[in-house]
Structure 1
C-alpha cells in the first residue's frame, strides 16, 4: 500500500511549508484537508477532498492505492489527526511532516516561554477533565470548541474558585484579523471570541510551599471558630485512611475550617473537592483559608447535608467531620452516591457516634476499620516538660463493596 503523508500547515504569512513537504504535495494524487488548507494550493493538479467525517476518510485510505497527502494545522501529532490515523492504520504506512503549531506561535507572539506549560484540548472531549488540568497547572494552553467556548471555560473556573490567572485570548492566528487580548478570568467570561482561538492561562498567585507544607500544616495557621479543627496529627491519619489518589472526587461534609479539604487538595491537585458547610460562623473562615492556602480545586458548598449533596458529582472519597445530628441520613445519602470501592472516613469523638456509625455502615455492607487516636503534646508548665492529652478521636474508615 502507498504511504500516507500527514503534512502540517504553518501559520499563514509567517511560516510556510518545507521543501520536502512541498515535494510530497506536488507528487500527490489526492489532497485531503479543511477548505482553508486546500485553498493554499489552488494549482494542485490532483483530486481535492474536503475533510469531513474521520471514519469516511479512514475507509477511503484503507482502500486506496493512490498517493494521499492529509493536510493538518501545525503539527498533526499535536491534538491533530495523527493520533486517529495511527490508531487505525499501520504506523509504518504513515509519514509525518510537522510544522509550527498555533500554540507555539501564540506563545511567541505574547513573548512567553512555553516549555513549562501544559496543553489541553476541549474539542470534542468535554469540559470536566480540562478544567481539572487547568486548575492544577501553573501555565496552560487550551484549544476550545464551539460548545466549550472561552467564556464557558472562564465561568467554570470562576465557579470552581480558580480565577487567579492572567489570560491571553489569541484569535484568528495568521489571518488578517489576528488579535491578542490580555485579560483575567472574570474579564474572559464577558468576551465574545472568534471560533478560531487559543487560550493561554498563566497563574498569578503562588502558594508559599516553604512556609506551608503539603501535609502537616500547623493548627494555628488555620482560621477557625473556637479552635474547632481536625488536629494536625488526626488530620494526617484521616488523610491516610482516605487513601487519596489524584483525579478523584471528594466530599468534605461539615468542613468546619476546611483543613482536611486543603491538605487533600495539596495531595491530589487534579482532583475535585467539595467542602460542605452551612454554619454561618464558619463560612468566612473557610473562605479565608481557601485563599490563604491557594486551594484552587476546593469548592465551598454552602449547604446542610444531606440536602446539599444532590447537585454534586458522585464521590470516590467522603470525609464526614461533622453531621449536625444527621449522621444516619448523611450516610444513607452518601451510600446512594458513593462509587464502588469508595471510602468513607468519619471522625467521631463520642462513643455514641462511634457505635451508631459502625453499626449503620456494617448494616449497609461496608468493611469497617476503626482507629483510636490518642494524642498528647508537650507543653511547658514549669522547668519540666509535661504532656497535655487531647480527647481521643475514633477514625472510622469504611470501604464500599465492588458492585
Structure 2
C-alpha cells in the first residue's frame, strides 16, 4: 500500500484568512481533515471527511493504516508544544510536511505590546507544574500555556509560596475570538481568577527600585539574618560551594540549613536548579524566610523537618550539603546514600574532630571516596593604630563521591 503524505498545518489567529494560498490548496485536495472542533469549524464547506482530534493512539493507528490524503490542523506552529513531536516520533519524517503559522504566544505578546525574544516559553498543559515553575522563577519573562488543572491561579499560588511575588501578570483569554480578553494583574490578583479554558499567562519580573544587587557568592555574613553560630561563614562557604561542583540545573539538598546562606549562594550559581533547604530549628526557620525574601532566592524551597525525616518526599539529589546533623549524622548519610544520583557529591562541614572522624568513617563504610580539607581562616582586625590577624576556628570540609566502576 502506497501511503500519502500527512500535512500538518498550523491555524493562525484570523480564521481561514490566516492560511497561505499553498496551505489552502493542500487542504482543498485532502480527503480527511483532523483537528479540534474549533479548527474544523473554520472550514464548513470542506468536501472530505472530518475527524475530531482525540486519543493520540487511535490517531496513530489510523495514520499508519490509511492510504488517504490527510491534513491535520493544529494551533499556530505545530512544532511548538504541538502535536508534531508525537507524530515525528512515531511516523517516518519523510511522510510528514509541516506548515507553521503565527502562534498564540506570539500574538499575545504583540497585543500587550511586549517584546518576546527575551522570554522563556513553558507548557503545563497535560504536564506537571513544578518543573515549569522552576524555570519561571529563574527567568525575567515567561509565557505559560495552562490547562484546567494547572490554572493561572494555581501557578500564582505556587510562585507566592516560593516567595516569588515580583511579577506583572497578563492573563490572555480566547485569543483571536470575539470574546478575546487581556487582563493585567499581579500574582495575588490571579488567585481568584476564573478565566476561559483557552488562556495564556504572561509573567514579567518586576523589581523594587531600591533592590540591592548582591554578589553571586561572597555575600557578607552580616547581610544574613542568623544566629551567629549557625552560619557557614563567607570564606568557608566559598570552599564548600567549590567542593559541591554545582551545575546550572541540578537538585541540591541543604540539610541543617541554618541561615540558608549556602542555599542562597548556590541558587545564584544554578538559577535553573532546585534547592531544598531542610531545617527544624524554629528560630532558624524564621531567619531563613527573611533571608529568602531579602535575596530573592526563588528556587530555594524551605522544608521544615528534622532530617532524615522530610527527605522522603524530595526529588533525588545530585548534590547534598550537610551543614548540621542534629546528632543523626549516620542516619542522614544512610538516607542520602539511598537517594543520591549517580555521579552525585556529598559535602559535609565539621567543626570538631569527633564529627570529622565519624563522617569519614560513615562515608567510607558506604563505599565513598572521601577528601577532607581543613580550612583555616585568619582575618585582620585593628588594634589601636596597628592591625593583627585574628584566627577563626578551623572547619573541615569533607567531600565524598563514589568512583565509577
Fold equivalence (TM over 0.5): yes
Quote the Cα distance in structure 1 between the aligned partners of 2:29 and 2:342. 56
Shift of 1:351: 0.4
Shift of 1:192: 1.9
Tell me if the contact between 2:16 and 2:43 (Cα under 8 Å) persists in the aligned partners.
Answer: no
Tell me if the contact between 2:15 and 2:42 (Cα under 8 Å) persists in the aligned partners.
Answer: no
Aligned length: 403
What residue number does 2:169 align with?
167
* Larger deviation, residues 212-221 vs 111-120: 212-221
* Larger deviation, residues 329-338 vs 161-170: 329-338
Tell me the SS of whatever aligns to 1:269.
Answer: coil
Shift of 1:141: 0.7
Alpha-carbon distance change, 402 to 180 in structure 1, aligned in 2, over 3 angstroms = farther
Quote the Cα distance in structure 2 between the aligned partners of 1:190 and 1:402. 51
Q: Deviations over 1:27-74 (max 9, x none)?
A: 222211111111111111122222222233333333434322111111
Matching residue within 117, 121, 125 for 1:123: 125
Q: Deviations over 1:318-377 (max 9, x none)?
A: 211122333233333333433344322111011011111111222222222111111222
What residue number does 1:104 align with?
106
Tell me the SS of whatever aligns to 2:310.
Answer: helix
| Counterpart check, 1:313 vs 2:315 | yes
Quote the Cα distance in structure 1 between the aligned partners of 2:318 and 2:134. 15
* Larger deviation, residues 329-338 vs 172-181: 329-338
Show the 5 A alignment for 1:227-246: 228-246=230-248
Shift of 1:239: 0.9
What residue number does 1:54 align with?
56
Tell me if the contact between 1:247 and 1:271 (Cα under 8 Å) persists in the aligned partners.
Answer: yes
Shift of 1:383: 5.3
Matching residue within 362, 365, 388 for 1:363: 365
Quote the Cα distance in structure 2 between the aligned partners of 1:4 and 1:308. 51
Tell me the SS of whatever aligns to 1:252.
Answer: strand
Q: Deviations over 1:84-124 (max 9, x none)?
A: 22233333333222111111111122221111110101123
Tell me if the contact between 1:230 and 1:259 (Cα under 8 Å) persists in the aligned partners.
Answer: yes
Shift of 1:13: 5.9
What residue number does 2:267 align with?
265
Quote the Cα distance in structure 2 between the aligned partners of 1:89 and 1:215. 49
Shift of 1:227: 6.0
* Larger deviation, residues 241-250 vs 379-388: 379-388
Quote the Cα distance in structure 2 between the aligned partners of 1:14 and 1:43. 12
Tell me if the contact between 2:374 and 2:397 (Cα under 8 Å) persists in the aligned partners.
Answer: yes
Alpha-carbon distance change, 327 to 384 in structure 1, aligned in 2, over 3 angstroms = same
RMSD over aligned CA atoms reads 2.5
Question: Which consecutive residues of structure 2, in runs of 5 or more, have no partner in the other structure?
Answer: none
Quote the Cα distance in structure 2 between the aligned partners of 1:399 and 1:4. 51
Shift of 1:20: 1.9
Shift of 1:206: 6.9
What residue number does 2:186 align with?
184
What residue number does 1:145 align with?
147
